[in-house]
Amino acid sequence: MATTCDKDSVRQAYELVRDDKSEVNWAVLKYDGNKIMVASTGSDYQEFLSNFSNSERLFGYLRMYTGDELSRRAKFALVTWIGSEVGAIKRAKVSIDKALVKDVISNFAVELATSDLADLEEESIKELLIKAGGANYGNGTAKNN
C-alpha cells in the first residue's frame, strides 16, 4: 500500500515553524500506518529530541537562529531519522516517502539523514546551519537562540 501524507496538517506545522512570530520552532512528522502525519510541535529542543528513538522513522523540521551582531536570521533544517531497529523494507521506503514530505516542506538550508542522536545535538545542527549560511562578518559575540 502506498504511503500518503496529511498535507494540510503538515503545511500548518511547516508555516508555524517558519513564522518568526510563532513560539513553535520545530515539528515532528511520524508514520501512522501508511500515512505521514504531524506527531508534535514545540519550542523546547530537548522535547524535540525526545521524539527520536531506535524503533522510529520520522521527519523533523527545525528553526534555529544564526548570524552575528550584524546579521541575525532564521535558518531551517530538515531531518530524516531512521532508527537502528527499523526493518529493511520500512527503511527503504523512507527515501521514497521523503518526496511526499518535501512537497510541503520545501524551504531548508540543511538536510540531514541520520540514525545517530549525536548528529542531532543542538550545537551540531547550529554549526551545519552556520556553514550553510555563508559569510559571517561579525566577531561572533551575538547571542543565538
The terminus-to-terminus CA distance of the chain in angstroms comes to 42
- The helices-and-strands tally (H runs, E runs) of the chain is 4, 6
**Residues 51, 81, 85, 39, CA torsion sign:** positive
- What is the Cα–Cα distance from 80 to 99, expressed in whole angstroms? 11
Q: What is the pLDDT of residue 66?
A: 87
- Are 24 and 41 within 8 A, CB to CB? yes
What is the DSSP pairing of strand 57-67 with strand 35-42?
A: unpaired
82: pLDDT strictly greater than 50: yes
65 - beta bridge partners? 74
Domains, the chain, with CATH or none = 4-132 (3.40.20.10)
**Residue 143's pLDDT band (cuts 50, 70, 90):** very low
Residue-wise pLDDT tens digits, 16-31: 999 999 999 999 999 9
8 Å CB contact between 78 and 17: no
